[in-house]
Amino acid sequence: MELFWYIVLMTMLTIYVILDGYDFGAGIIHLFFAKTEKDKKAITNAIGPFWDANEVWLIAVGGVLFFAFPTLYASSFSGFYLPLIMILWLLIFRAIGLELRGQVQNKMWEAIWDKAFGIASLLLALFFGIALGNVVRGVNLGMVTDGVSAHEPHYFFLPLWNPTFSPQAEHLGIIDWFTLLLGVIGVVALAIHGANWIIFKTNSKLNAKLKKVVFNLNFVLLALVIISLLIWHIIEPKPFHNFIQYPWLWVFPIITFIGIFGLFKVKSFQKDGKGFLFSSLFLFGGLTSTVASIFPKMLPSTNTINPDLTIYNVAAHEYGLQVGVYWFVIAAVLVAAYMVIQYKVFKGKMDDVGYGEH
């Protein structure tokens, strides 16, 4: 049952990254490339009917984590307390940036909330990338100092950074040069993803420019991915051991590179949705490849005193996991029906939705 709920959790997380990822990306595009009021409205129209529903997946991930892996939930929500609070505030400012902008017809008012929406989106993409870096790198479980564990084995707490800014320090920080690299990859990848969504859902004059932006950013993304793979050996001596033991796992890295190489053809796509498909493949492949590389670990330990947190030593009791399956099936059917109806109602181009005028 632990494996079933782990697959459910990772599936929901992947769906969240793909769906709310294009919202973050649209906000980044809005911040840097939307120069006219018409461009700004095209972007908000593209995500307007979807962004709040997409964020529900993050709440669902937290709910499944609490139910199925309570020890990991308790450990992570205390250890990552500072960045989680920052993410919460960024989600709030991003939401009110969208909702409050159209309430007052004043240039200064609109400019303030435009910046709130764009900067919050950029920082959210950065922090979620950094969060992935922390999971890959691991944390000092038990707060071990000089070989002595100061706390219980699943406890840790991280400041925003440590004085050395190193991912190999005994007492780590949230931000170091490795996690920051993954954060930058997150920003670039989601900017591409958001641009592809805008192209897919609007007929904006901005689209031609965005295809060039996607093409150029894709070179940056490819370079960053290659660099991250090369330096991964510094963090994990055997980063590909699961892929060697289970060769079928290579399908996930293959999907990743199909997505990234497909994006180099963005200028020649006849159908606007193809770019979004390839950026979705990249995000799906990249996240699943990362998860596959550390499985069955959910949060690695950077010391040898306390063990890694795995799907087996942080899971709830077997009986609770079994009972939860029935409720999950009901919830999955309801969510699937909602998603199908929502995307059917708002299919096609969104130029005339008029989001933000309410």
Q: Supply the DSSP string of 84-129, one letter for each residue.
A: HHHHHHHHHHHHHHHHHGGGS--HHHHHHHHHHHHHHHHHHHHHHH
For 4, residues 6+ apart whose C-beta sits below 8 A from its C-beta are 321, 325
Q: What is the pLDDT along the chain (358 residues), one digit of tens a residue?
A: 888 999 999 999 999 999 999 999 999 999 998 888 888 888 888 888 888 888 888 888 999 999 999 999 999 988 898 889 999 999 998 888 888 887 888 888 888 898 999 999 999 999 999 999 999 999 999 888 878 887 888 888 888 888 888 888 888 899 999 999 999 999 999 999 999 999 999 888 888 899 999 999 999 999 999 999 888 888 887 888 899 889 999 999 999 999 999 999 988 888 888 999 999 999 999 999 999 999 989 999 888 888 989 999 898 888 888 888 888 889 889 888 988 888 888 888 777 776 655 4
pLDDT of 98 reads 84
pLDDT of 128 reads 93
Exposure string over 226-235, b if 16+ CB within 10 A, otherwise e: eebeeebeeb
For 77, residues 6+ apart whose C-beta sits below 8 A from its C-beta are 84
pLDDT of 178 reads 93
Q: What angle (nearest 5°) sits at the alpha carbon of residue 173, between those of residues 169 and 174?
A: 135
Q: Inter-axis angle of helices 107-137 and 273-294, to 10 degrees?
A: 30
Q: What is the pTM of this model?
A: 0.91
